[in-house]
Structure 1
Amino acid sequence: MTKLLQGVLAGSRRRGLFLRVRLPKNQAIWYTDGQWGAISIDIKELIRCRLGGQHLLTQRASNAEIAADLCGAQAQILRNALFTLQSRTGSSDVSGLLKTWTLRGTLHLIPESDLPLYVHQQGAAEDVCGTPWYAWMTKCGCALPPEREKAFARLIVQEIASGNDTREGLRQACQAAGMTADEEKMVFHGWGGVIGELSPLGVICAQVQEKKAYRLCAPFAPMDAAEAELTLARRYFTHYGPASLRDAAYFFRVPQTKVKAWLKQLDAREISVDGRMYYATKDAPEGEMPHVRLLSGFDPMLLGYRKEDNPILPPEHLRGVFNLTGIVHPTALADGRIVARWREKDGKVELMPFENIGVRTKKRIEREVEKWFEVKEIRWMEI
């Protein structure tokens, strides 16, 4: 299409030539003074492109591929991460995945082969006192002395290697080695502790299961930090795009100046939506906008963008989805707009609409629920 139009316009060099060329799928491209400008799309097409980039229009990839494309699936609540993947593949296979702290200092499911993207240099138990967690505990005045911290780190690694891999088993081993009650509060702190120090070093990782258990990470080659960052940025603008500078800065927790530097290296295309500039590194995906999709708790369609700017999230529903304790609830997306929350346990599903959504939309949501769960009961409730 672009080559054809360039040929038509090649002979026209008048200053001030200004054309708007309509393209398929609610897109347009501007041609001004011999230059092709940003592609222009509407909000509906922006949402469709994001759904397609995040594998919510078609199911062709494995869970490991999805986890790679989306820069991990946030996993402090494991069932949410598993549904993030399953809702995009139809599969519950977790082979090749591990759970560890990555982006934004939170737990994610990632492919084990991607570990060098997040841990650029594999460490050892002796390195725990150089981690951000230990620095934070030192600043708070509650860190263990370095040699004591290292001793427990060595013991934990040894126990995991010998097969004693559960959190409770590791706690008992440390108690048998003389860990006091006060030391236990630090070594097994709920926000990380020594396990939270060993994981970002690439020494251990959590197993992908509800019961807290760990394993050793396989040795891996180091990766240059700048190269790793650019690789993740490329994945972001490929699968989360079109996304804005503010969206990417929010997702990676970096300044917008860093995002601009990445974009220069990525050869990203500019996309205009209602006068605001977005960026993507691939063509618009195939597939029609679905009437209804269930999104997981902490779904990438919500975490991938600045929440105040996310077109699928009406401002009046924001606190019903992102609560003040840091939870991001599972939601139902209807025609590109979040209209309800949901939760499921043992086949019993509760649906909580944010607004009057009508009988047809309710039926579509119920059919979507039945697609993913062995439903015993569906109840519509007030929030």
Structure 2
Amino acid sequence: MHERMTEEEIRCRRLAGQHLLAPAPARTVVRDLCGVQAQFLQSALHALRIRSGGACGPERLVKSWTIRGTLHVFALEDLPVFLHRGRAQSPRDCDTLGADARVDAARKRFFADLILQRIEAGENTREALRAACRSAGMTDGEAESIFNAWGGTIRALCDAGLIGYAVCEKKTFMRLPDFAPMEANEARLEMARRYFAHFGPATVRDAAYFFGATQSQVKTWLDRLPVRAISCSGRTYYALEDGPGTPDGAHDIPPCVLLAGFDQLMLGYQKTESLFFRPEHLRGIFNLTGIVAPTVLLNGRVVGKWKRSGRRLTVTPFEAVRAADRRRIEEEALRLFPALSGVVFTEE
């Protein structure tokens, strides 16, 4: 027989699992959440900050392409999991070490080896690497492939587990330590275990959305994991038996959280069935160009989005927000960003 929960109980358990009720070390956070998406690094650092109780250092963290083929920050010790054998690779020829329309395979391999040598020598910024390749004869056409803005040879070396992005605002690369990639089935099962432990309770559709997998694949993982089934509002949710949970009201839902852009709390669940925002607010969060806005979570529900520009933070509510709640939002903004000159509420 399925356990029963209310939507509020599920929200509370998800917030606990995602370290939004009690802070944890940054390396614990990235491990439990299968990394944090890092399309914009400042968003990833903010996601870690609100879960780890303060600024997080980049030590033992790396950035590379992982889940859904997107950039994530994760722990170096998880290289075998996220860069596992048989994982999906970019479909673009320029993101491989093979020939493409601009560079033949031998030439690309030559520049790939040069990039590795320069990184090992400490010339690890994108600008320095491009300059080194230029000095070695790289043409403008070859540069469009090798230093492609969305990947190129840099991505091929990242996908091969040879280099990764250092976790800093400037595009800087690091040589990765040697590691033994896990087999695909075991790595995916480990990621699913973390998901149902820290994103759960979650539905099959939620997990399929997060991993970019089929529902059949998710059901295969569930068959191998010690999960419990939970019923709520006609849907079945799953959570790991020994997941973090929320012991007997030990934590209350926080009155206000300023979530990051591309936050795992938004990306972790099928967006058309989210328990954290109303359906009519979906396009205010997920726009049509693929951007996921930083949002204001008030008493466990998204009520608007926010943006910081210099010393000003602007909040755009999706619905009426009471004066007392506006004060809570302002207090949280000033706690996170003490140098702010003001918090402004505006309409779309």
TM > 0.5 fold call: yes
| Unaligned segments of structure 1, at least 5 residues | 1-36, 123-129
| Unaligned segments of structure 2, at least 5 residues | none
The 2-side partners of 1:326 and 1:298 are apart by 10
Decide whether aligned partners of structure 1 residues 250 and 121 sit closer, same or farther in structure 2, where only a CA change above 3 A counts.
closer
Query: Within 5 Å, which residues of 2 pair with 1:83-162?
Result: 83-93=46-56, 94-120=58-84, 132-134=91-93, 142-162=101-121
Partner residue, 1:248: 207
Once the two structures are superposed, what CA deviation does each residue of 1:13-35 show, in whole Å capped at 9, x if it has no partner? Answer: xxxxxxxxxxxxxxxxxxxxxxx
The 2-side partners of 1:177 and 1:132 are apart by 28
The 8 Å contact of residues 94 and 145 in structure 2, kept in 1 or not, is answered as no
Once the two structures are superposed, what CA deviation does each residue of 1:319-364 show, in whole Å capped at 9, x if it has no partner? Answer: 1111111111101011221111111233321111111111111111
Once the two structures are superposed, what CA deviation does each residue of 1:242-301 show, in whole Å capped at 9, x if it has no partner? Answer: 010011011111111111110111121001111100100026324111222111100010
Decide whether aligned partners of structure 1 residues 178 and 218 sit closer, same or farther in structure 2, where only a CA change above 3 A counts.
same
Of 336, 341, 344, the match for 1:376: 341
Shift of 1:222: 2.9
Q: Does 1:257 align with 2:221?
A: no
Query: Partner amino acid for 1:225?
Result: A
The 2-side partners of 1:306 and 1:139 are apart by 36
Shift of 1:136: 7.0
TM-score normalised to the size of structure 2? 0.93
Once the two structures are superposed, what CA deviation does each residue of 1:81-101 show, in whole Å capped at 9, x if it has no partner? Answer: 001011011132222111111
Bigger Rg, which one: 1
Partner residue, 1:284: 245
Q: Does 1:182 align with 2:147?
A: no
Partner residue, 1:194: 153
Of 207, 210, 235, the match for 2:166: 207
The 2-side partners of 1:312 and 1:149 are apart by 46
- The more displaced of 331-340 and 243-252 is 331-340
> 3-state DSSP class of the match of 1:91?
coil
The 8 Å contact of residues 17 and 244 in structure 2, kept in 1 or not, is answered as no
Of 326, 330, 335, the match for 1:366: 330
Once the two structures are superposed, what CA deviation does each residue of 1:148-167 show, in whole Å capped at 9, x if it has no partner? Answer: 11111111111111111110
Q: Does 1:227 align with 2:186?
A: yes
Partner residue, 1:164: 123
> 3-state DSSP class of the match of 2:2?
strand
Shift of 1:365: 0.9
- The more displaced of 253-262 and 369-378 is 369-378
Partner residue, 1:8: none
Decide whether aligned partners of structure 1 residues 166 and 139 sit closer, same or farther in structure 2, where only a CA change above 3 A counts.
closer
Percent of aligned positions that are identical:
43
The 8 Å contact of residues 268 and 279 in structure 1, kept in 2 or not, is answered as yes
Query: Partner amino acid for 1:105?
Result: G
Query: Partner amino acid for 1:378?
Result: V
> 3-state DSSP class of the match of 1:366?
helix
The 2-side partners of 1:266 and 1:214 are apart by 36
Shift of 1:139: 11
Query: Partner amino acid for 1:382?
Result: E
Query: Partner amino acid for 1:91?
Result: G
Query: Partner amino acid for 1:267?
Result: P
Greater length-normalized contact order (CA 8 Å, ≥ 6 residues apart): 2
Q: Does 1:68 align with 2:27?
A: no
Decide whether aligned partners of structure 1 residues 169 and 249 sit closer, same or farther in structure 2, where only a CA change above 3 A counts.
same
The 8 Å contact of residues 133 and 197 in structure 1, kept in 2 or not, is answered as no
The 8 Å contact of residues 165 and 213 in structure 1, kept in 2 or not, is answered as yes
